[in-house]
């Protein structure tokens, strides 16, 4: 929808009036995104939706004629000019992703909001220095919220990263057992009274990654892959993108609620960051963890727990003298000015955000403590710190070790966790319990996100028994949340996933005892390991995993064990046995160094001498996410809203309504 002359008229006039018709300004992007702007389709779905009063940025990219400059711009909603504070509007003409010969400007109005429900048109008007003008129109919706019953005070989101229906079933088979076709008992998540299905696609792909997979739930809007809490733009800066106010920010600003984030991943990872941090690059760990602290006044952040200490330690460039660590600081720090930020003035003014600084040498743990956070470096410290009202727990350099290896350390069976330097890491249910204890001290209520992160990470690696124990660990955290909600009935709890991962399928069970699997691994072959072992249909009986008092299987290598196939797989070698060590985690600071360096690098070399080759359908060396809908189960006040098939952005509006947003 442009005011430039129609092409035919231009062509006709071109001979006599080349300057007028050579071009005119155009608008190549209008934010928030809409089908009306992108496809000129007024009948398509409304893409961007907001709560009454929820803040978001208006932005447009204007391409001007060569030799001209932008002299004026304004936004209008429903034909009426918006009235920005002067210091919340800006024009950016350098540092753009557009090709160098394009004369373009990105124009913004920060932290816009409106209360009136309904679909509204958004128009940008721009004028270039020769007087030629352009206008472009899109739309967005303000969702009406009628109050419905007594509002809930607390929200607990349990996010099983990559946990689809198959993963839930497989964990039930392993953790509870079946008899003559019936589960012996349900998982905690099976006991939630309401279940629906969620569509997980992102703004720019049917298959999402974890950043929009999470932020779509808590902004009500579709973000693009690898971005969290923002819309796409045309600037190079990863922290200046048009923002969408998070549920945490909206509820802290309007109701004074606190925010808690608990994960088994590195806390900079996509899912935890997509609760509170606004960036178009999920990899910029230094800036992401800084923003957790520096903008806690916006989000109400009061609990942050997981791995990721490498981003919090000052990078003092103390290199090992013998060069064994090859440029890595000995303290494990990976703070780096290149993954940090300083925000532009209009964004600071509009949102009240902290400016930030590119400070690789920052002692961020010290700064959290100075801000009143108790700090727990391990499980023992966590027990000591949960009497605080703000809590930081950082239990490893990057992603925490998985349940399989943490439990085997507690049982004295293996010392894998020692190889990472963190022998006393808590389990997720212990972290969840401490987090809820701390958050319950916040009188206005809270929003907590508790993530079973390595379900996904071990699925990418197709390390079957490791992700299975992650689901069991996650289910124990679900029980903690359910118990909390039973004692605090003003709480809504949802269990869901950001996306499915790996296309995992329960294909059957081994027809042989585990000794036969071990024997077959000495002479790997398709005939010996696939044809002779994979039992389908009634040849797969009911595998029996004896459970230890700690809640996990005594062994995952049991006779007639459950077998998992992968529909979204890269190449791997399979011998059906549990892998004695994890596969390397490239996020760890000392991954290339012994003893971690001795672990298999990828699934396509792991078990190469003991398993048969299964050729994957996807390129690369790990399994991928899929677009399959994921289950969502709900318990507590307002749970009935979560039935049927819903978009991930719908979950935001349901939660807002349940906590009495208006």
Q: Which own/partner contact pairs does 116-119 have at CB distance under 8 Å and 24+ positions apart?
A: 116/52, 116/142, 117/52, 117/142, 117/143, 117/144, 117/145, 118/142, 118/144, 119/46
The distance of Cα 392 from the centroid of its chain, to the nearest Å, equals 19
Shortest distance, CB of residue 490 to Zn ion, whole angstroms? 33
Query: Is the distance from CB of 329 to CB of 314 less than 8 angstroms?
Result: no
Q: Which own/partner contact pairs does 45-48 have at CB distance under 8 Å and 24+ positions apart?
A: 46/119, 46/139, 46/140, 46/141, 47/140, 47/203, 47/221, 47/222, 48/139, 48/140, 48/141, 48/221
Alpha-carbon distances, residue 19 vs 3, 65, 489 (angstroms): 16, 10, 70
Binding mask 287-326 for Zn ion (x = CB under 5 A): ----------------------------------------
Shortest distance, CB of residue 470 to Zn ion, whole angstroms? 12
Q: Of 455-514, which residues contact Zn ion (CB under 5 A)?
A: 456
Using the minimum distance from each CB to Zn ion, give the nearer residue, 252 or 282: 282
H or E element at residue 95: none
Helices (H), 532-607: none
Shortest distance, CB of residue 208 to Zn ion, whole angstroms? 10
Using the minimum distance from each CB to Zn ion, give the nearer residue, 249 or 456: 456
- Alpha carbons within 13 angstroms on the beta-carbon side of residue 539 total 12
Using the minimum distance from each CB to Zn ion, give the nearer residue, 386 or 456: 456
Left if phi > 0, otherwise alpha if psi is -120 to 50, otherwise beta: which for 470?
A: alpha
Shortest distance, CB of residue 632 to Zn ion, whole angstroms? 18
Query: Is the distance from CB of 239 to CB of 227 less than 8 angstroms?
Result: no
Using the minimum distance from each CB to Zn ion, give the nearer residue, 295 or 470: 470
Positive or negative: CA dihedral 499, 502, 507, 510: negative
Distance CA 111, CA 108 (A): 10
Shortest distance, CB of residue 502 to Zn ion, whole angstroms? 9
Shortest distance, CB of residue 531 to Zn ion, whole angstroms? 32
Using the minimum distance from each CB to Zn ion, give the nearer residue, 306 or 356: 306
> Which residue sits closest to Zn ion, CB atoms considered?
456
Using the minimum distance from each CB to Zn ion, give the nearer residue, 315 or 398: 398
Shortest distance, CB of residue 500 to Zn ion, whole angstroms? 10
Q: Of 434-463, which residues contact Zn ion (CB under 5 A)?
A: 456
Using the minimum distance from each CB to Zn ion, give the nearer residue, 207 or 605: 207
Using the minimum distance from each CB to Zn ion, give the nearer residue, 616 or 636: 616
Look at the block and give the residue holding tokens 């001007």: 64
DSSP state of 507: E
Q: Of 558-577, which residues contact Zn ion (CB under 5 A)?
A: none
The distance of Cα 589 from the centroid of its chain, to the nearest Å, equals 21
Which residues, other chains included, contact 246 with Cβ-Cβ below 8 Å and sequence gap of 6+?
A: 215, 218, 219, 229, 275, 276, 299
Using the minimum distance from each CB to Zn ion, give the nearer residue, 233 or 456: 456
Angle (CA) 222 492 494, round 5° = 50
Using the minimum distance from each CB to Zn ion, give the nearer residue, 57 or 456: 456
Query: Is the distance from CB of 319 to CB of 263 less than 8 angstroms?
Result: no
Using the minimum distance from each CB to Zn ion, give the nearer residue, 291 or 622: 622
Q: What are the beta bridge partners of residue 235?
A: 96
Shortest distance, CB of residue 459 to Zn ion, whole angstroms? 7
Shortest distance, CB of residue 273 to Zn ion, whole angstroms? 14
Shortest distance, CB of residue 316 to Zn ion, whole angstroms? 33
Using the minimum distance from each CB to Zn ion, give the nearer residue, 225 or 235: 225
Shortest distance, CB of residue 209 to Zn ion, whole angstroms? 7
Shortest distance, CB of residue 623 to Zn ion, whole angstroms? 9
Shortest distance, CB of residue 162 to Zn ion, whole angstroms? 5
Instruction: Classify 437 as helix, strand or coil.
Output: helix
Using the minimum distance from each CB to Zn ion, give the nearer residue, 278 or 282: 282
Shortest distance, CB of residue 460 to Zn ion, whole angstroms? 6
Using the minimum distance from each CB to Zn ion, give the nearer residue, 32 or 452: 452
Distance CA 192, CA 194 (A): 6
* Total binding residues toward Zn ion, as defined by CB under 5 A: 1
Strand 194-199 to 630-636 pairing: antiparallel
Shortest distance, CB of residue 647 to Zn ion, whole angstroms? 20
Query: Is the distance from CB of 408 to CB of 423 less than 8 angstroms?
Result: no
Ranges assigned E (strand) in 239-311: 258-266, 301-307
φ, ψ of residue 241 to 5 degrees: the values are -60, 155
Using the minimum distance from each CB to Zn ion, give the nearer residue, 164 or 260: 164
Q: Of 208-237, which residues contact Zn ion (CB under 5 A)?
A: none
Distance CA 158, CA 635 (A): 11
Shortest distance, CB of residue 458 to Zn ion, whole angstroms? 10
* SS3 of 349-377: HHHCCCCCCCCCCCCHHHHHHHCCCEEEC
Using the minimum distance from each CB to Zn ion, give the nearer residue, 51 or 275: 275
Distance CA 466, CA 204 (A): 31
What is the longest distance spanned by two Cα atoms in the chain?
88
Q: Of 609-648, which residues contact Zn ion (CB under 5 A)?
A: none
* Residues making contact with Zn ion (CB under 5 A): 456
């Amino acid at each position: 929808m442009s005011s430039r002359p129609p092409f035919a008229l231009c062509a006709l006039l071109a001979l006599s009036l080349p300057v007028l018709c050579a071009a005119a300004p155009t608008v190549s992007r209008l934010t928030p995104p809409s089908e009306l702007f992108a496809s000129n389709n007024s009948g398509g779905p409304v893409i961007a939706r907001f709560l009454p009063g929820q803040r978001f940025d208006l932005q447009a990219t204007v391409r001007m004629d060569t030799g001209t400059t932008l002299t004026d711009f304004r936004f209008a909603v429903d034909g009426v000019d918006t009235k920005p504070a002067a210091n919340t509007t800006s024009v950016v003409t350098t540092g753009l992703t557009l090709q160098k010969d394009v004369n373009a400007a990105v124009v913004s109005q920060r932290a816009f909001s409106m209360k009136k429900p309904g679909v509204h048109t958004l128009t940008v008007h721009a004028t270039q220095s020769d007087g030629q003008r352009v206008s472009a129109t899109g739309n967005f919706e303000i969702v009406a919220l009628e109050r419905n019953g007594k509002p809930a005070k607390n929200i607990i989101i349990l996010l099983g990263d990559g946990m689809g229906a198959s993963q839930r079933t497989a964990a039930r088979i392993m953790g509870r057992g079946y008899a003559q076709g019936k589960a012996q008992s349900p998982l905690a998540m099976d006991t939630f009274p309401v279940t629906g299905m969620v569509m997980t696609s992102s703004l720019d792909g049917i298959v999402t990654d974890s950043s929009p997979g999470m932020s779509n739930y808590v902004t009500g809007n579709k973000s693009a892959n690898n971005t969290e809490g923002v819309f796409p733009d045309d600037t190079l800066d990863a922290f200046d993108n048009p923002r969408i106010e998070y549920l945490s920010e909206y509820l802290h600003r309007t109701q004074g609620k606190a925010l808690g984030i608990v994960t088994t991943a590195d806390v900079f990872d996509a899912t935890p960051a997509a609760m509170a941090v606004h960036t178009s690059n999920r990899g910029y760990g230094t800036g992401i963890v800084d923003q957790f602290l520096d903008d806690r006044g916006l989000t109400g952040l009061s609990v942050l727990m997981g791995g990721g200490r490498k981003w919090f330690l000052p990078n003092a460039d103390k290199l090992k003298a013998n060069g064994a660590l090859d440029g890595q600081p000995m303290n494990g720090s990976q703070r780096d000015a290149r993954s940090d930020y300083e925000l532009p003035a209009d964004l600071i003014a509009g949102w009240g955000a902290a400016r930030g600084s590119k400070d690789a040498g920052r002692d961020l743990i010290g700064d959290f403590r100075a801000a009143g956070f108790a700090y727990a470096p391990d499980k023992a410290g966590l027990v000591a710190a949960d009497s605080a009202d703000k809590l930081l727990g950082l239990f490893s350099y990057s992603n925490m070790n998985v349940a399989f290896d943490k439990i085997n350390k507690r049982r004295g069976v293996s010392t894998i966790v020692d190889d990472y330097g963190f022998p006393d890491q808590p389990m997720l249910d212990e972290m969840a319990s401490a987090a809820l204890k701390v958050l319950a001290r916040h009188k206005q209520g809270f929003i907590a996100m508790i993530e079973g992160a390595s379900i996904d990470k071990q699925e990418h690696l197709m390390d079957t028994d490791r992700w299975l124990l992650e689901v069991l660990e996650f289910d124990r955290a679900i029980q903690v949340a359910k118990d909390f909600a039973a004692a605090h009935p003003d709480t809504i709890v949802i269990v869901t996933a950001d996306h499915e991962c790996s296309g995992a399928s329960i294909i059957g069970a081994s027809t042989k005892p585990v000794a036969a699997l071990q024997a077959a691994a000495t002479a790997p072959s398709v005939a010996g390991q696939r044809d002779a072992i994979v039992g389908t249909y009634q040849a797969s009986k009911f595998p029996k995993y004896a459970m230890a008092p700690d809640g996990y299987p005594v062994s995952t290598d049991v006779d007639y064990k459950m077998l998992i196939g992968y529909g979204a797989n890269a190449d791997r070698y399979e011998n059906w046995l549990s892998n004695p060590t994890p596969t390397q985690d490239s996020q760890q600071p000392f991954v290339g160094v012994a003893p971690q360096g001795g672990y298999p690098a990828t699934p396509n070399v792991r078990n190469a001498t003991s398993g048969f080759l299964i050729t994957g359908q996807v390129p690369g060396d790990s399994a991928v996410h899929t677009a399959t809908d994921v289950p969502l189960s709900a318990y507590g006040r307002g749970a009935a809203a979560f039935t049927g098939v819903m978009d991930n952005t719908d979950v935001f509006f349901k939660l807002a309504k349940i906590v009495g947003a208006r």
